[in-house]
Chains A and B, each alone.
Chain A
Amino acid sequence: MTSGPLKAGLVPRSRSRAVLTHAGGLHARPAIKLTQLAKRFQSEVWIALAEHGPWIDAKSIARVMATKTPYMATLHFVAEGNDAAEATSALARLVESDFADDGNGG
C-alpha cells in the first residue's frame, strides 16, 4: 500500500490536473487507459479528486476504478521520480484529450 507522495525535495516531483470531460466519468475503459499510461513511467504516480488528496496509486487499476470519479471532476496528478514531469503532463493530456486512442490497441 502506498501512502502518497512523501519524498518531496529528495526526488524530482511534478503536479498536474485536468477536468474529466469524459461522459459517464472515469468508468472501466478510461480507467484502464489511465492506469496503462501511468505504468509506462518509472516514477511513482498518484491521483486524487482534491488538491490535497487522499492520494491513490495511479498504477493500481482496482484503486483507480474504485475512485468512481464523476463527469466534470478535476483529477489531480502527482508523480515522483526521474520522469515525473513527463508522467504528469502525459496523464493530464490523456484526460484532456477525452482518452483518445493512442494507437496502442487500448
Chain B
Amino acid sequence: MGKNVGIVIVSHSADVAKGAADMVRQMVGAHVPLAWCGGNLAGGLGTSVEAIVKALELAWSDSGVVIMVDMGGAETNSEMAIEMMPERRRAKIVVCNGPIVEGAVMAATESSSGAALERVRRAAEELYSR
C-alpha cells in the first residue's frame, strides 16, 4: 500500500462517486489508494476544488494518482485542484479521459498489479481509445 498508483473519483453527484468507489473496492480489492468526492459544498450537484484537493491527499501515492471525472466542471475543477497541490506532486497527477465507472475499475485493476502511472492512465482510457 502506498506504492500503487492512487485513484480519485470526481463526480457531480456524491452518490455516483461513492458508488463507483464501492465498485472499485469490491471488485478490485483494498490494495489501491482510493478516494472520491462529489457534490458542491451546499449539498447539491456539482464539484468542489477544495473537496478534490482533500481526495488527492487521501489517495496520494508517490507513484502518482489518476483522477476519473464525469463531465465539464469536474474536469476543470480537477485541473484547478492539481494547481493547488505542492509543485513536486503536480507532475504525478493526471486527469483521465475515460468513463468514470468503468475507467475507475480498470485503472484500479492495472494499479493493483503495481503498474506505473502511465500504464494506469492507459488502462483507464482504453475504452475511449478504440
User: Which residues of A come within 8 Å of B, CB atoms?
Assistant: 28-29, 32, 35-36, 39-40, 59-63, 104-106
Contact = CB atoms under 8 A, between A and B. Distances in A.
Interface residues on B, range: 10 to 19
A62 B31 contact: no
Main secondary structure of the interface of A (DSSP, over half): helix
Interface string B104-120: 01100110110100000
A36 B30 contact: no
Interface of B: 27-31, 105-106, 109-110, 112-113, 115, 123, 126-127, 130
Contacts of A60: 123, 126
Contact of A62 (B28, B29, B127): B127
Contacts of B27: 28-29, 32
B117 to A, nearest CB: 16
Contacts of A63: 126
B45 to A, nearest CB: 27
Contacts of B31: 104-105
